[in-house]
Structure 1
Amino acid sequence: MSTTAPTTRTATTKPLTVVRRTAWLVNALFWSAFAVLEAVNHGWLAGLVSVVFFIAPDLTFLVGAGEAKDLRKGQLQPRAVPFYNTAHRALIPLALIVAYPLQPIIDWAPLFAGFCGWLAHISYDRAFGYGLRTKEGFQRA
């Protein structure tokens, strides 16, 4: 009878982590395709707004750009954390996507495409292991 030593798994190889990240990647691909579809259906402006909203959540890094001293590798300036976390909460663009067809006030298709791009950005971040930050600016475990 042979015995083998137990193997240790890192956070990236746990089955639940792999399933969760795969689900986020499928979600990201869906919202990316939806943003492209909106751009095809509504023109270049919808595509442009979608790209801007895709990039915009990471512009929150600029809030603390001038004070990068005494930061460790991977740490975000603590002053930028509330902005970063707000821009990276998936429920915000999802709620806006749900609310968009229900309210008659703003009927501008590029805005909907932008929400799709925003949610795609958040989904890609989660798929690649980037989540919300602690108040000190580090990735949450």
Structure 2
Amino acid sequence: MVMTEESGAVRSSASPGVRFAWGTLGALLLAWDIFEVLKHQGWVIPSALVGAALPLLPRLLGRAGEHGPGQLPAAAVPLHNLLNRAPIPFAVMVVFSFLGDKPEDIAAPFTFGMAWLTTIALGRAAGFGLRTREGWQR
């Protein structure tokens, strides 16, 4: 873990190569998200917005709890760690790829999972990830 001096905020100690890979994945997924939203519209738009916001929800809910700079309140950590695991939105994308008769049937839930994964990837590229029980960056 790396701690900045002025704020006490903690960031991931992932190597620059790993963070670059996450950033590349995030950028590609973001372009794909935008493509899917423009192509299908309708319910795909709100599903993409909800998917993109989902991994950030524990941080917003955790603002009310007691915590230090760069720390997430302990009560918000389990939800944060659950919603910030990349295999979960990837599984949503895979499962919905095989459901439905037409692409329009699966576009909204697939894009939901993809937007969720995009937020995780961009967060990891920025140095954010899973948290310890106490709420500090791992």
Question: Same fold by TM (over 0.5)?
Answer: yes
- The AA in structure 1 aligned to 2:84 is H
- In structure 2, distance between residues paired with 1:115 and 1:56: 10
* Structure 1 residues 1-141: aligned runs within 5 Å: 17-68=15-66, 71-104=67-100, 107-140=105-138
- The AA in structure 1 aligned to 2:111 is A
- In structure 2, distance between residues paired with 1:114 and 1:55: 10
CA contact (8 A) 1:63 1:79 kept: no
**How far 1:104 moved relative to its partner?**
4.1
Q: What SS does the aligned partner of 2:48 have?
A: helix
Structure with max Cα Rg = 1
User: Normalising to structure 1: TM-score of the pair?
Assistant: 0.79
User: Normalising to structure 2: TM-score of the pair?
Assistant: 0.81
**How far 1:91 moved relative to its partner?**
0.5
- Count residues with an aligned counterpart: 126
What percent of counterpart residues are identical?
A: 33
Change (3 A) 1:60 1:89: same
Cα-Cα RMSD? 2.3
Unaligned runs of 5+ in 2: 4-10
**How far 1:34 moved relative to its partner?**
1.2
- In structure 2, distance between residues paired with 1:130 and 1:61: 12
